[in-house]
Amino acid sequence: MIYCYECGKKISDTARECPYCGAKCRGNGEKSALVAVLLAFFLGSFGVHRFYVGKTKTGFAMLLISLTLFGMLITGIWALVDIIFIVCGKFADKNGNELKF
């Protein structure tokens, strides 16, 4: 159980909106798009933003690829593409949930 951030009543942690006030709920598993963009901007070449959203396999792949100078270029471009997808709302977490700003 979680509490609605609008009305403060207890609601199911899987609820998409509060049954009492109708406010959209941010479940425990939902991730922030702003945090993901900042991580991708500052540490994106190392795949940190992908670890944040639970995509550990591709995050680990980015981390391994970035160990070389040429790899840093590849993962830098990859992170830039991820930033564009996050800002456009086309980037999801490991469960397919969209990131919320």
pLDDT 10s digits, 7-48: 888 888 777 888 999 887 765 567 899 999 999 999 999 999
pTM over 0.85: no
Q: Is the CB of residue 12 less than 8 Å from the CB of residue 27?
A: no
Tell me whether residue 31 is exposed, middle or buried, using C-beta atoms within 10 angstroms of its C-beta: 0 to 12, 13 to 18, 19 or more: buried
Q: What is d(CA 101, CA 86) in angstroms, rounded to the nearest whole number?
A: 10
Where are the extended beta strands (E) located within the chain? 2-3, 10-11
pLDDT value at residue 29 = 63
Q: What's the mean pLDDT when you consider all of the chain?
A: 90
Q: Which one has a higher pLDDT value, 64 or 9?
A: 64
